[in-house]
Structure 1
Amino acid sequence: MAAKEKLEAVLNVALRVPSIMLLDVLYRWDVSSFFQQIQRSSLNNNPLFQYKYLALNMHYVGYILSVVLLTLPRQHLVQLYLYFLTALLLYAGHQISRDYVRSELESAYEGPMYLEPLSMNRFTTALIARLCLVPLETIVIINKFAMIFTGLEVLYFLGSNLLVPYNLAKSAYRELVQVVEVYGLLALGMSLWNQLVVPVLFMVFWLVLFALQIYSYFSTRDQPASRERLLFLFLTSIAECCSTPYSLLGLVFTVSFVALGVLTLCKFYLQGYRAFMNDPAMNRGMTEGVTLLILAVQTGLIELQVVHRAFLLSIILFIVVASILQSMLEIADPIVLALGASRDKSLWKHFRAVSLCLFLLVFPAYMAYMICQFFHMDFWLLIIISSSILTSLQVLGTLFIYVLFMVEEFRKEPVENMDDVIYYVNGTYRLLEFLVALCVVAYGVSETIFGEWTVMGSMIIFIHSYYNVWLRAQLGWKSFLLRRDAVNKIKSLPVATKEQLEKHNDICAICYQDMKSAVITPCSHFFHAGCLKKWLYVQETCPLCHCHLKNSSQLPGLGADPVPQPPAGAEQNVLQEGTEPPGQERPRGTGVQEGSRDNDECIARRSDSQEGACDPKENPLSAKDAAHPVEVSLEEKQQE
């Protein structure tokens, strides 16, 4: 982005911030109480305050002016600010001239001007009149004439541009109608959202409010505050800066950008600049902002007093921090596991991954401990504590799997049952997560029955029960059934004898490794038992011919000699696609590409290609021949 475009983007935000501040001030301003105070004061005789309804209408004019400032295009907005600045300068000049004339009349000085140096700094027209030796009585007339002449110029300008707002509104309405007819109302909203840069605009507005609040506090205090006092000041300042809907939206967008910055730094710490190359969008952070907005609206945060608002806001911020930690774990988990599965020996990469995991293991537990120390336990705090405990459990499972990968890397031979070990590790901490979620639901139900019943609490219990208990139980049971069926199918398949393996003299078509032991499918294909079991976790077809695998007892005629295999073309096409074990835990050195343990996409792609019937024919082609095809001479082709 060029410097000019950056400057225009900054101006686009900076020039619209006063409109949000004006809306915030108008929302805070109670017109009725204001006029009651005016009636008790000496300003009651002022003509401006005698027309109450006119002033009330001016209050609504302020809203209209704020909306105009917010929605005007940047070029017209710059012109409007220049007009405001010109009017301000004219008013300042008028005030200075009037004060100068009054001071001259009070001093009654008739001498030369050069004998009074202070008069050289006065208003220009009156100063020129004094230099021309105009009498003091005439200066008042000259000042009034200059004021009237300036006023006439302003009136002429306003009259010549009287229809400009109407023309702008008319053209804007015409453009809006055209955009809605062509693209729709949603596209119009997205276009205005992007042009006005609403998230950045509200974030800057809230940061200005927060800075003013901090400045007003420290400007009235002489002695430095303690650490506890600073923490209380921080919370109360945030609470003061979310007392209106506009400031609350500013806090929501500020939290979203802070969460986005933390997650971006997390990914940069793990992967460096490569993180931005792989994921340039980084569309994260909105979850935390939306969470804060929903909790603030449901709990009535704006309507509370400052102290109660600060207390409730601290709990909401704890929930937001727990959500950020969970998002950091979602970023770190695949990167750490991929680093453990790869053969990358960079100590710095491993240190960064392990150090971040240790932080995500310790900090949520420490946060849960601090919450238990300083707050009385209720349902909301239990949700925060359970989320922190779940984050620590997930990090513990990730570190355990990472250690298993590293142990396998340093072993000379791969671990045969690594997939089962990792499944049991994942199943253990998934079970612990399920138990924690179940405890939260039980506590919430008991609090609802024996304590104070609220609609919000019931909704939270229902949502928590559905997503964290019911869906997790369904997924866990489905995974268990799939693995049990796969194990039963493997046990039902016959094991190849030594003579069959020597006669077959082939490699496993899944991992491309020699077979010292194998099982025979009903379609007479040989595979490693572990490789085929991983395949059956995903689908129930043969990896080569895509026949539906059944128990050997259901297929008669499967003896010592294998039946003819499917046509060579089908096997060769499948093998050329590249077959890998379906799980994430493929043993070291068992694939063509290093460091790729997760090949669910390859399995899904192959399962969609030829899933269906199996028609075995003659002239079989082994997996070894398909992996290393033999060249056929021209004479053999002619003989064929």
Structure 2
Amino acid sequence: MSFRTKLLDFVYVILRVPPLFIIDELLRIGFEFGLPQGDNNYSNSSFEVNDAGASVIGEELAYTMPDYPDLVQYDDQFYKAILVVAFKYILSCLGIVTAVCVFMLWTKHLVVVYTYLISVGIVFVSFWTNVNTMKIMISAMTANETASGMGTQVYTSILEDLLSLDVGRLLDPNGYAFIVIQNYAMQCMLAFIFSYVYLGPRYPIIQKCLLVSFMAPSILAILPLPVSILHHAPVFAALLPLALVKFILWYSALTVIQTVCGCYQRACNFVSNFGLSALVEREWVRLNVPVVLRTFWLLRVTEHAVSLLSDYFSVSDDQQAQHNLLAFTAMFSITKSLLVSGCETLTAVLGMTSIVSYICHYVGNFFQWILLTEDDDDRSIGTVSAILFYILALQTGLTGLDPEKRFIRLCRNFCLLFTALLHFVHNIVNPLLMSLSASHNPSLHRHVRALAVCTFLILFPASLLIYLWSQHATSTWLLAVSAFSIEVIVKVVVSLMIYSLFLVDAYRSSFWEKLDDYVYYIRAFGNTVEFCFGIFLFFNGAWILIFESGGAIRAVMMCIHAYFNIWCEARAGWSVFMKRRTAVNKINSLPEANTEQLHRLDDVCAICYQEMRSAKITRCNHFFHGVCLRKWLYVQDHCPLCHDILYKVEMETPKDSFRIGDMVDSSNNEASTSATRNNSDETEEPIYQNSSPVTLEQQSANVTR
């Protein structure tokens, strides 16, 4: 990517940041529903009830008529406060909607909007500078009139100084001529910029009038004119450029409405053709939302950091020496203040979420680099982490807490997020362990890297638990972190045990028939522990919802957790158990081949191509390993060789049958038949790797609960 392309991308990102600052400021100050203070001390006297107030209330109950006008006055103040709050709320909502619309504009339309705003800003800057210059000149003239009454003259017009060639007064840096010259240069620059950026008609007469309009107050300040003319000169000078700006606005109103309606119509057509999710994804990519949010948050925090550092370094020398001794404490306080202010509004939380997503993405890339893997499915770790962090922020009401409580809650959310990140890392290393152990990979350094990551996933959560339990009292948050940490330790131990079994099987010279059972039992233990932790976290969350901090978002997340992590997991586990039990019963119903039959057959299993020391005989008189046949029954009920039904199922009990309704069609059957004719040792690996295909459904470690 060239430097020009990078620069343009950066400019496009910067153009979308100002609307976010507007939304952030409106969220911070626009929804403070403060009631106005009336002359009757409404906020102090209306709601204070004490013993003396009780007697007054009793007297008012006895004589209600004289006090009735006071009640009417109270109602007027109350409705006035309601109207002020409603008006403030409506204006804030309109400002937020406008900022969102500007944020979503195409880049060419965004440039037009900023060009118009720059032209408006130039008009107001010109007006303010002219007003300040005229105030200085008027104050000088007023002082001159006062001094003339006393027989002295302080001020003469600049024109008189020019005609009298009073170079000293003209070149005096503290004189009035120098101020007028500064304003003259400023107005020239503003006039040229306005002529370049404004979007109105560019007739030659208008261009000349614009220059005269900007320069008029500076020219009039040279002449000995009355104060009233100088006082109103900036207003009349701003009329022409302001009229041009208003003309552009009204002239473009119809075009703006047509553009908005056209965009809305195209969005509706896109949704009807491709769906809402496709529209959101397209706009997300077009607007480059993550980068814009990161830029917004970094600029916001940088501005606050500069303010804090300027206050820190503006102390005296003695205080500076004392501060140097406490530099670490000061830096900690500054960092704490930045984190607290970085999540005080919803837009700030979104910006922090984007930063968290960016960091987690590169953490995932770091572990992928260690493990030498490039699985694209694992690259979503940044997105999942961002969603989890934002849900935690909304669920805990992060923006509405006091600064101290907000910092504590933010640290706790980061701790929960980090434990979830450990689960994501396990999801990266677990398939690699299974692949290395089942494929007989001789690369020692890949095994060492995977085992090193597993060691980290065991030691770090254990160390974290020891530290947290030694430094904090028992709480629902600590219990949740402990459950997540112990769960990831159990998952890593289960993965290492299965990895060890596969390694042992890889170096065995004979077929290990009990391997599948051992793997199933270990995985069943791990899934059972995860299920128990899911139930524990549900009750822990219910306690928080009822007794600590309730809320609609927490209640919704509780329902989602109960359905996906408890109900669906329980149903899937029970289904796996029933299917396995049915398959075992089917295998046990088949006759066992004796030694004489195996010796007479002198063949290998047609499924795994391993020597048969024990075998099951099907109805069609074919010999297979019992374990291999059970795995085959996970897929279908037909014989791998002749396609005859291995086990007759009674029609009266269809629910007890294990046949997974036509999961494999005739083409798959032909493929399996042809595979049995190819005596290749390569087919041994998938048999061991998928030693329990159905139990892989239990590997959903949804740590976002």
Give the distance between the partners of 2:544 and 2:114, measured in 1 at CA: 57
Give the distance between the partners of 1:150 and 1:468, measured in 2 at CA: 66
Alignment of 1:38-57 (within 5 A): none
Partner of 2:401: 304
- TM norm structure 1: 0.72
Cα 1:124–1:593 shift into 2, 3 Å: farther
Alignment of 1:91-490 (within 5 A): 91-92=124-125, 102=136, 108=156, 110=161, 111=165, 116=171, 119=178, 122-124=182-184, 137=224, 148=236, 151-181=239-269, 183-184=271-272, 186=276, 189-222=280-313, 223=323, 234-272=335-373, 275=374, 278-279=375-376, 282-413=379-510, 415-440=512-537, 467-490=564-587
Give the distance between the partners of 2:120 and 2:526, measured in 1 at CA: 69
> Which SS does the other structure have where 1:302 is aligned?
helix
> Which SS does the other structure have where 2:593 is aligned?
coil
Match of 1:79 among 102, 109, 112: 112
Q: Which amino acid aligns with 1:252?
A: T
- Cα deviation for residue 334 of structure 1 reads 0.6
Q: How many residues align?
A: 561
- Cα deviation for residue 508 of structure 1 reads 1.6
Give the distance between the partners of 1:310 and 1:528, measured in 2 at CA: 61
Are the counterparts in 2 of residues 242 and 248 from structure 1 also a CA contact under 8 Å? yes
- TM norm structure 2: 0.66
CA-atom RMSD, angstroms? 4.7
Are the counterparts in 2 of residues 93 and 123 from structure 1 also a CA contact under 8 Å? no
Cα 1:580–1:75 shift into 2, 3 Å: farther
Give the distance between the partners of 1:442 and 1:146, measured in 2 at CA: 70
Residues 572-616 of structure 1: CA deviation (Å, up to 9, x unaligned): 7533246999xxxxxxx953475774358999xxxxxxxxxxxxx
Give the distance between the partners of 2:626 and 2:98, measured in 1 at CA: 75
> Which SS does the other structure have where 2:592 is aligned?
coil
Are the counterparts in 1 of residues 605 and 611 from structure 2 also a CA contact under 8 Å? yes
Partner of 2:151: none
Q: Which amino acid aligns with 2:490?
A: L
- Cα deviation for residue 523 of structure 1 reads 1.3
Partner of 1:575: 673
Are the counterparts in 1 of residues 435 and 689 from structure 2 also a CA contact under 8 Å? no
- Cα deviation for residue 386 of structure 1 reads 0.6
Give the distance between the partners of 2:32 and 2:482, measured in 1 at CA: 46
Give the distance between the partners of 1:167 and 1:350, measured in 2 at CA: 65
- Cα deviation for residue 524 of structure 1 reads 0.8
Are the counterparts in 2 of residues 241 and 247 from structure 1 also a CA contact under 8 Å? yes
Cα 1:480–1:88 shift into 2, 3 Å: closer
Match of 1:496 among 593, 609, 634: 593
Are the counterparts in 2 of residues 242 and 302 from structure 1 also a CA contact under 8 Å? yes
Cα 1:438–1:83 shift into 2, 3 Å: closer
Give the distance between the partners of 1:424 and 1:32, measured in 2 at CA: 59
Are the counterparts in 2 of residues 520 and 526 from structure 1 also a CA contact under 8 Å? yes
Give the distance between the partners of 1:375 and 1:16, measured in 2 at CA: 43
- Cα deviation for residue 391 of structure 1 reads 0.5
> Which SS does the other structure have where 2:112 is aligned?
helix
Does 261-270 or 430-439 show the bigger shift?
A: 430-439
- Cα deviation for residue 327 of structure 1 reads 1.7
Give the distance between the partners of 2:32 and 2:497, measured in 1 at CA: 65
Does 307-316 or 80-89 show the bigger shift?
A: 80-89
Give the distance between the partners of 1:402 and 1:32, measured in 2 at CA: 58
Give the distance between the partners of 2:569 and 2:581, measured in 1 at CA: 18
Q: Which amino acid aligns with 1:116?
A: L
Are the counterparts in 1 of residues 438 and 689 from structure 2 also a CA contact under 8 Å? no
Residues 483-528 of structure 1: CA deviation (Å, up to 9, x unaligned): 4444444444333345534543433211123434433212111122
Are the counterparts in 1 of residues 127 and 238 from structure 2 also a CA contact under 8 Å? no
Give the distance between the partners of 1:546 and 1:159, measured in 2 at CA: 83
Partner of 2:606: 509
Are the counterparts in 2 of residues 180 and 188 from structure 1 also a CA contact under 8 Å? no
Alignment of 1:23-38 (within 5 A): 23-29=23-29
Are the counterparts in 1 of residues 398 and 406 from structure 2 also a CA contact under 8 Å? yes
Cα 1:279–1:593 shift into 2, 3 Å: farther
> Which SS does the other structure have where 1:282 is aligned?
helix
% identity of equivalent residues = 28
Does 314-323 or 195-204 show the bigger shift?
A: 195-204
Cα 1:477–1:23 shift into 2, 3 Å: closer
Gaps of at least 5 residues in structure 2 are: 40-83, 142-153, 189-214, 314-322, 649-666, 695-705
Q: Which amino acid aligns with 1:122?
A: Q
- Cα deviation for residue 75 of structure 1 reads 1.3
Q: Which amino acid aligns with 2:352?
A: L
Partner of 2:619: 522
Partner of 1:19: 19
Match of 2:103 among 58, 62, 70: 70
Gaps of at least 5 residues in structure 1 are: 40-51, 552-568, 582-588, 604-640
Give the distance between the partners of 2:489 and 2:103, measured in 1 at CA: 45
Residues 393-431 of structure 1: CA deviation (Å, up to 9, x unaligned): 101111222233334444555544322232232233333
Partner of 1:10: 10
